[in-house]
A and B are shown apart, each in its own frame.
Chain A
Amino acid sequence: MTAILDVRDFSVEFRTRSGIVHALDRISFQVARGETMALVGESGSGKSVTAYALLGLLDAAGRITGGSATLEGVELTQASPKELARIRGARAAMIFQNPRAALNPIRPIGRQIADVVRRHAGLSRRDADARAVEMLREVGIPDPARRFAAYPFELSGGMCQRVMIAIAVATRPALLIADEPTTGLDVTTQAVVMDIIQSLAAETGMATILITHDLALAAERSGRIAVMHAGHIVEDAVTAELLAHPRHPYTRRLLAATPTAAGGLADLRAIPGSLPDLRRTDLPPCRFAARCEQRLPACEAPMAWRHLAPAHRVACWNPA
């Protein structure tokens, strides 16, 4: 398998008034063509920052401080803002949670799709409009020619997310980053939205990064899961393997905190402690150590990956 996205030792910092936030610390992962990788972790673990940093969407306070990230062989960390804008929407696209707010409220939805198509594919206005209608049909919006002129406020949340997907995949990108794409949608709509993303991915060979805090969703929809904690990737394995044999204490805790159909609420276990303050200058090599029950003196040593199985690695000195 060739990686479409290859991220190595990628680090991001934010400069704030109260100090430098070490938001991402040397994270590495690869995503292959057609693969769906889930990036899971609690709020603040750095999932979204990873996506924004890769696409050059960080705000002025954030900057990439090290490592490399290549998309189809193009080095993203060295690209100029102009080059990145040419890649965004064309080769790598992104969809967000809260789809209604993510769409321009006073521009017809078809026009918003056509804007992106015209920008990247250089189509004429008429061709771009035709392509927009075609995309609306592709994401399952009924009566697409008429809906071209609809505004976001006239559509349901699920329909808005379909429009977002249409905008993202209209240019047939190699990579789609879906940042909590189903949060805020009802369960049946969630399933439909994920079905659309996955069938488009299967059809075009698009790689997908599914960013979510919902392990159940990741379990159902991804081929591989990378678990993030406090700006580190702590474990990375094929989905079935990770769910059956979680090795990192944080992954185990995360699974114990995820509701299942069989278990009751009383079976859920909260994860003790909270994320460390990422502004600290003396962050320990393992950022989970302070919350960890299996901590050893060895945990003070710099972290190294352990490869437990061909497609299963964990960053822990004392894996379960």
Chain B
Amino acid sequence: MRGLLWRLAGSLPALAAVIVVTFVLTRVLPGDTATYFAGPTASAESIAQIRAELGLDRPLPEQFWNYLRALVQGDLGMSLTTGQPVLTDILQRLPASAELTLAGLLLAVSIAIPLGILAAVKQGSLADHACRVVVTAGVSLPVFFTGLLLVYVFYFVLGWAPAPLGRLDAFASAPPTVTGFYLVDAALIGDWETWRGALAQIVLPAATLGLFALAPIARITRASMLAVLGAEFIRTARASGLASSTIILTYALRNALLPVVTTLGMVFSFLLGANVLVEKVFAWPGIGSYAVEALIASDGAPVQGFVLTMAILYVLLNLAIDMVNRALDPRARRA
């Protein structure tokens, strides 16, 4: 427990660096917020007025000081695009991104891990070749392309999937918020019609993310299983006549999962990045599309808020990976 607190404390400098870098980046990026919001016909005076209102006419250190002061009070600033506090926007949109990312990850894991195990246990078999194809495809297809391809095939050509327009059909209403995950919230109140609607909407974007995440997970699972199956303690297990199911699942897989869990953390962070594009393709109301829209509008506060949120997510994610590793590996508990 103390170790975890230390780790948490150790990530504070990284968060501080993120705060500084995003602040500087949003100031040096091309595009002037005041000009953008004043509109194309605005006069020089009105632009100057808006700039003064936003505090953008102040020297940079003063701006940064004001930003920090607001930050410690939990104020991430206002979004000029939505007219709402950035924190409100992000809290509203984060569950959408989280639900999509987790769905994609779940899909990837539930296919990639069995595939990797099969490929390692039966080398040269159909599963092994399938694993190779999936890994190659997953690495070489960019997410926006897979996304568009899936939309084209399953919505436009086959008509199996609904229009890629967000989390729910335009005429359906969202379930009452408990977790913010539509699939969970709808199931909680037993509203299966909404549940099916939400599922139909999430299948294609989750599959897009899943295909992207499949490749590294399957590859690591296969390689890690192969390494463990060649280990001396597997020879001992075989020499003790243990059943092959015990050898593969209890002895080999649990050891092989250690590097897989570490990879999962990495894949999860890739997914958070890939989300930005996938949300755009599927009009998913998550924080990724929010950040892209703000960036295009030179709206600094949401971009800073987005990057900070991501940084905090990464820190929490690494903490979670650490805890899972400790649960799996007694050696990590001692360290």
A contact residues vs B (CB 8 Å cutoff): 55, 57, 84-90, 93-94, 96, 98, 101-107, 115-116, 119-120, 151, 153-154, 164, 167-168
Roughly how many angstroms separate A89 CA and B239 CA in the complex, as a whole number? 6
Instruction: Select one of A84, A98, A104 contacting B237, CB under 8 A.
Output: A104
Closest to B255 in A: A106
Give which listed residue, A89, A106, A151, contacts B240 with CB less than 8 A: A89
Task: Check if A98 sits within 8 Å of B241, measured CB to CB.
Answer: no
Which residue, A87, A119, A154, has most C-beta atoms of chain B within 10 A? A119
B2 within 8 A of A: no
The distance from the CB of A76 to the nearest CB of chain B, in whole angstroms, is 13
* Chain B min CB distance to A58 (Å): 11
A-contacting 9-mer, from B15-23, B190-198, B228-236: B228-236
B241→A104 contact, CB < 8 A: no
Partner of B233, one of A90, A94, A103, A119: A103
Answer whether residue B64 sits at the interface, using C-beta atoms and an 8 A cutoff. no
- In the complex with contacts A115-B246, A119-B246, A105-B255 CB distance below 8 A: yes
Instruction: Identify 8 residue pairs between A and B in the complex whose beta-carbon atoms are under 8 Å apart, listed by A's number.
Output: A57-B235, A85-B244, A88-B238, A96-B236, A102-B236, A115-B250, A119-B246, A154-B334
Task: Given A106-B254, A106-B331, A107-B251, check contact A101 B232 (CB 8 Å).
Answer: yes
Contact residues in B for A168 (Cβ distance below 8 Å)? 240
B232 touches A167 (CB 8 A): no
| B254 surroundings in chain A (CB, below 8 A) | 106-107
User: CB of B54 within 8 A of chain A?
Assistant: no
* A89-B242 in contact (CB<8A): yes
Interface residues of B in 208-259 (CB under 8 A from A): 231-233, 235-244, 246, 250-251, 254-255, 258
Contact A98 B232 (CB under 8 A): yes
CB-CB under 8 A from A87, the residues of chain B are: 241
Closest to A120 in B: B241
A153 cross-chain contacts in B, Cβ below 8 A: 330-331, 334
Residue from A55, A106, A115 within 8 A of B242 (CB atoms) = A115
> Does B329 sit at the interface, judged by CB under 8 A?
yes
B103 within 8 A of A: no
Q: Please state if A106 and B330 are interface contacts (CB–CB under 8 Å).
A: yes
**Lowest 7 CB-CB distances: which A-B pairs, in order?**
A89-B241, A88-B241, A89-B240, A94-B239, A101-B232, A116-B240, A151-B330
A87 to B255, CA, bound (A): 26
User: Whole-angstrom distance from the CB of A254 to the nearest CB of chain B?
Assistant: 27
Q: When chains A and B are docked, how far (Å) is the Cα of A164 from the Cα of B240? A: 10
Which of A88, A104, A116 has the most CB atoms of chain B within a 10 A radius of its CB?
Answer: A104
Excluding A119-B240, A119-B243, 8 further A-B contacts by CB distance (< 8 Å) are: A55-B239, A101-B231, A102-B236, A104-B233, A104-B236, A106-B330, A106-B331, A107-B254
Contacts of B233 in A (CB 8 A): 101-105
Name the residue in B235, B237, B254 with the highest tally of chain A Cβ atoms < 10 Å from its Cβ. B237
Q: How far is the CB of A276 from chain B (nearest CB, A)?
A: 28
**Is the pair A57, B239 in contact by a Cβ cutoff of 8 Å?**
yes
CB-defined contacts of A93 to chain B, threshold 8 Å: 239-240
Query: Which residues of chain A come closer than 8 Å to B328, judged between CB atoms?
Result: 106
The answer to whether B242 and A119 touch across the interface, beta carbons within 8 angstroms, is yes
Distance in Å: Cβ of A185 to nearest Cβ of chain B? 16
Docked Cα-Cα span, A94 to B250, in Å, equals 20
Nearest CB on B from A197, distance (A)? 16
Chain A residues with Cβ below 8 Å from B329 are: 106
Given A57-B235, A101-B231, A104-B255; A116-B242 close (CB under 8 Å): yes
Q: Are A96 and B232 closer than 8 Å at their CB atoms?
A: yes
Closest B residue to A98 by CB, please name it.
B232
User: Distance in Å from the Cβ of B323 to the closest Cβ of chain A?
Assistant: 16
Q: A107-B251, A153-B330 are in contact. Are A116 and B235 (CB under 8 A)?
A: no
Bound-complex Cα distance A104 to B250 (A): 10
A88 contacts which chain B residues (CB < 8 A)? 238-241
Q: How far is the CB of A171 from chain B (nearest CB, A)?
A: 9
**Cβ contacts under 8 Å, A55 to chain B:** 239
Q: Is A85 a contact partner of B241 (Cβ separation < 8 A)?
A: yes
- Give the complex CA separation of A93 and B237 in angstroms: 11
Give the complex CA separation of A96 and B235 in angstroms. 9
Which residue from chain B places its CB closest to the CB of A56 in the assembled complex? B238
Q: Are B241 and A116 in contact (CB under 8 A)?
A: yes
Closest chain A residue to B330, Cβ basis: A151
CB–CB A119/B241 < 8 A? yes
| Bound Cα distance from A19 to B198, whole angstroms | 61
The one of B241, B244, B334 in contact with A86, judged by C-beta atoms closer than 8 angstroms, is B241
Instruction: For the complex, give the distance between the alpha carbons of A167 and B236 in Å.
Output: 9
Q: Which residues of A contact B236 (CB under 8 A)?
A: 96, 102-104, 164, 167
Which of B239, B243, B251, B334 touches A104 (beta carbons < 8 Å)?
Answer: B251
Give min CB distance, A122 to chain B, whole Å.
12
In the complex, A153→B332 CA distance in Å?
11
List chain B residues, Cβ under 8 A from A86.
241
A151 near B239: Cβ-Cβ < 8 Å: no
Q: Which residues of B contact A164 (CB under 8 A)?
A: 236
What does the 1/0 interface line of B247-290 toward A look like (CB < 8 Å)?
00011001100100000000000000000000000000000000
What's the Cα separation between A235 and B246 when bound, in Å? 41
Task: Tell me the nearest residue of chain B to A116, going by C-beta.
Answer: B240
Q: Which residues of A contact B232 (CB under 8 A)?
A: 96, 98, 101-102
Assembly CA distance A106 to B334 (angstroms): 12
CA distance A84 to B243 in the complex (A): 11
Question: CA–CA, A177 to B243, complex, Å?
Answer: 20
CA distance A22 to B310 in the complex (A): 61
The CA-CA distance from A86 to B258 in the complex, in Å, is 30
User: In the assembled complex, which residues on chain B have CB atoms less than 8 Å from the CB atom of A94?
Assistant: 239
Chain A proximity of B97: nearest CB distance (Å): 34
CA distance in complex: A86, B244 (Å): 11
In the bound complex, CA of A107 to CA of B237 (Å): 12
Chain A residues, Cβ within 8 Å of B242: 85, 89, 115-116, 119
Shortest CB–CB separation between residue B128 and chain A, in angstroms?
14
User: A55 vs B240: C-alpha distance in the bound complex, in angstroms?
Assistant: 10
